[in-house]
């Protein structure tokens, strides 16, 4: 197997680490298990082949020089390193596929605000929640952050290629907010990265080329926000509405969901689809913008929901994606990057497959100004219902396979789970990364078996999943297939508490 370290001497590494520094680390089972996965969650049947994907040690550096020291020691003893943020990605970006070190950066949280240059220089282990709240105290805010901002870290979102989030419709993709970065390369040297070309090399590549320790981001003066929530029964009407208002200059966030998603979050299901808009203070008044939007929405058979519901949605926005995970034994999903034009066919195909196979499902879409879409296809399942679980994963696989074959999109984030699609459908990108990996990481210690190499093959996964979809189809026809009934969450009847980060989400 290529692109993995050879002749690893882990015990010698630990002995040297003990002698040479005061860096905190742990070999306790509870630490290495809790730090070796992400939010996806897997039942035992799926965990069996992942048993080796467990770290040998978790290390918590607090300073850049400690990261340098760890990397140089790891090179000396050929010990693999998997960098970790908060683990909010669902695709195994921080699964230690070859054991070794989990380098947890969450204690690297120092930052400095430069008000004159409208930027913040921060270590990358800080969460978006903490950083943005502190910026708000200085009357500034970030230009974009993920829907998982309550936990996810700055470095984690860069490493997983986060581009669509809150504020990115107005201020641009998160990569466009980056001014420069400090990176510890696989040989333990510190690099300053400040060109768009070089920044792109580290964006979405799971830390296989370097560990980002510090980053400079654009910041913006705080401005008031106003939310609107509109219900639609036809997907065509929703998409037409988005295309009609796309040029409004005070759009801060636009996203859409279906009734299954909102039933789990807000306990509403009066419409088949929902369109959520957040306006940012600008040249036009909120009342004028609202009148425009309401007029256009009526043309496309949309119904504006009450201010109370839209405020409820906005205040709880950062909890909603993870709430479905909390209420579900195993959350299988796929995140696709596509464009608005392709969304209609993708969603209808997904819904039709899920209905025919009797599978739980819901959708969420986040849109940027160029009308690119992060489309989240969610299939909640239960690890005790193994056939339902496998068919749910197979459904996502079928959709991904189709988007590549029809050239309608690509996976949004790779990690461990989606590396098989890289090898099958994006071979040019893989070859470029393999060459770069060999040049910058000759010992292959940074996050092995991600992107450039996998432990399994597309052909094997495709065969397993297509067989499961076939048998699920038969089970549906003979009426033995059933959806999973999740216990009703008592919190559905309560108004959500405002999140801490929500201090800057309040409307006028």
Both tokens of 457, joined, read 């093959």
pLDDT tens digits, residue range 195-238? Answer: 988 999 999 999 999 999 999 999 999 999 999 999 999 999 99
Report the residue count for the chain. 508
Give dist(CA 62, CA 81) in Å, integer. 16
The yes-or-no verdict on residue 499 having pLDDT over 70 is no
- Closest by alpha carbon to 455, among 51, 24, 13? 51
pLDDT tens digits, residue range 123-151? Answer: 999 999 999 999 999 999 999 999 999 99
Please report, rounded to a whole number, the percentage of residues in the chain having pLDDT higher than 70: 93
Both tokens of 58, joined, read 């978790």
CB 134 within 8 A of CB 90: no
The yes-or-no verdict on residue 269 having pLDDT over 70 is yes
Out of 37-51, 77-91, 311-325, pick the least confident. 37-51
- Closest by alpha carbon to 458, among 431, 427, 430, 421? 421
The yes-or-no verdict on residue 273 having pLDDT over 60 is yes
Region 263-283 average pLDDT: 94
pLDDT tens digits, residue range 348-405? Answer: 999 999 999 999 999 999 999 999 999 999 999 987 888 999 999 999 999 999 999 9
pLDDT of 3 reads 87
Question: What interhelical angle do 317-326 and 307-315 show, nearest 10?
Answer: 70
Instruction: Give φ, ψ of 13 to 5 degrees.
Output: -60, -45
pLDDT of 315 reads 93
- Closest by alpha carbon to 268, among 278, 259, 256? 259
Report the topology of domain 111-221.
3.30.465
pLDDT of 283 reads 84
> Which residues in the chain are classed under CATH 3.30.465.10?
111-221
Give dist(CA 316, CA 326) in Å, integer. 14
CB 332 within 8 A of CB 381: yes
Region 328-337 average pLDDT: 88
Give dist(CA 121, CA 111) in Å, integer. 6
pLDDT of 491 reads 39
> Which residues in the chain are classed under CATH 3.30.43.10?
10-104
DSSP, collapsed to helix, strand or coil, labels residue 259 as helix
- CB pairs under 8 A, 24+ apart, for 352-358? 353/395, 353/398, 353/399, 353/469, 354/379, 354/395, 356/473, 356/476, 357/391, 357/395, 357/469, 357/472, 357/473, 357/476, 357/481, 358/472, 358/475, 358/476, 358/481, 358/482, 358/483
Angle at 493 between CA 294 and CA 360, to 5 degrees: 80
Give dist(CA 134, CA 423) in Å, integer. 42
DSSP, collapsed to helix, strand or coil, labels residue 300 as coil
Strands 81-84 and 101-104, how do they pair?
parallel
Residue matched to tokens 């690893």: 8
pLDDT tens digits, residue range 165-177? Answer: 999 999 999 999 9
Cα Rg for the chain, rounded, in angstroms? Answer: 23
Q: Which CA distances in Å does 170 have to 143, 165, 238, 317? A: 8, 10, 20, 17
Q: How many CA atoms lie within 13 A of 149 on its CB side?
A: 25
Region 312-334 average pLDDT: 85
Residue matched to tokens 């050929």: 78
- Looking at 92-153, list the stretches that DSSP marks H as alpha helix, in order from N- to C-terminal side: 128-137
Q: Name the band, by pLDDT with cuts 50, 70 and 90, for residue 504.
A: very low
- What would the CATH number be for the domain defined by 10-104? 3.30.43.10
pLDDT of 52 reads 67
Give dist(CA 57, CA 54) in Å, integer. 9
Out of 94-98, 146-150, 429-433, pick the least confident. 94-98
Out of 92-101, 179-188, 472-481, 483-492, pick the least confident. 483-492
Give dist(CA 250, CA 91) in Å, integer. 33
Instruction: Give φ, ψ of 275 to 5 degrees.
Output: -120, 120
Q: Name the band, by pLDDT with cuts 50, 70 and 90, for residue 500.
A: very low
């Amino acid at each position: 197997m290529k692109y993995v370290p050879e002749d690893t001497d882990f015990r010698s590494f630990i002995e040297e680490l003990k002698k040479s520094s005061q860096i905190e680390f742990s070999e306790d089972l509870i630490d290495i298990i809790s730090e070796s996965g992400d939010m996806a969650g897997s039942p035992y049947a799926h965990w069996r082949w992942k048993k080796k994907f467990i770290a040998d040690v978790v290390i918590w550096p607090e300073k850049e020089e400690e990261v340098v020291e760890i990397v140089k020691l790891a090179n000396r003893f050929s010990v693999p390193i998997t960098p970790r943020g908060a683990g909010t990605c669902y695709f195994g970006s921080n699964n230690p596929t070859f054991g070794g070190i989990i380098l947890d950066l969450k204690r690297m949280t120092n930052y400095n605000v430069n008000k004159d240059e409208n930027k913040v220089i921060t270590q990358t282990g800080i969460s978006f929640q903490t950083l943005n709240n502190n910026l708000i105290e200085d009357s500034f805010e970030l230009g974009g952050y993920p829907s998982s901002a309550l936990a996810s870290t700055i470095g984690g979102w860069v490493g997983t290629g986060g581009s669509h989030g809150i504020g990115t419709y107005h201020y641009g993709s998160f990569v466009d907010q980056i001014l420069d970065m400090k990176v510890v390369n696989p040989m333990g040297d510190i690099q300053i990265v400040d060109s768009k070309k070089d920044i792109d090399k580290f964006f979405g590549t799971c830390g296989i080329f370097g560990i980002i320790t510090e980053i400079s981001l654009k910041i913006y003066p705080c401005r008031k926000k106003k939310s609107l929530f509109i219900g639609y029964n036809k997907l065509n009407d929703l998409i037409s509405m988005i295309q009609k208002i796309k040029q409004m200059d005070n759009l801060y966030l636009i996203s859409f969901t279906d009734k299954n998603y909102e039933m789990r979050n807000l306990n509403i299901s009066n419409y088949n689809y929902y369109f959520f808009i957040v306006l940012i203070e600008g040249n036009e008044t909120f009342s004028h913008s609202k009148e425009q939007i309401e007029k256009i929405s009526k043309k496309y058979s949309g119904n504006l929901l009450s201010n109370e519901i839209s405020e409820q949605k906005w205040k709880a926005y950062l909890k909603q994606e993870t709430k479905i995970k909390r209420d579900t034994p195993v959350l299988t999903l796929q995140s696709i990057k596509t464009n608005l034009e392709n969304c209609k066919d993708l969603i209808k195909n997904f819904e039709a497959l899920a209905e025919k196979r009797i599978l739980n499902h819901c959708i969420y879409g986040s849109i940027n100004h160029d009308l690119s879409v992060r489309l989240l296809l969610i299939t909640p399942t239960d690890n005790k219902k193994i056939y339902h679980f496998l068919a749910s994963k197979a459904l996502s696989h079928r959709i991904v396979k189709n988007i590549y074959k029809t050239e309608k999109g690509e996976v949004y984030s790779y990690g461990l789970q989606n590396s098989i699609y890289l090898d099958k459908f994006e071979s040019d990108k893989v070859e470029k990364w393999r060459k770069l990996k060999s040049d910058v990481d000759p010992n292959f210690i940074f996050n092995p078996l991600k992107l450039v190499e996998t432990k399994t093959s597309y052909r094997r996964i495709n065969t397993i999943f297509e067989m499961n979809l076939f048998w699920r189809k038969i089970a549906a026809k003979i009426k033995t297939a059933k959806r999973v009934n999740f216990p009703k969450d008592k919190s559905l009847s309560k108004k959500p508490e405002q999140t801490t980060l929500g201090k800057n989400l309040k409307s006028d």
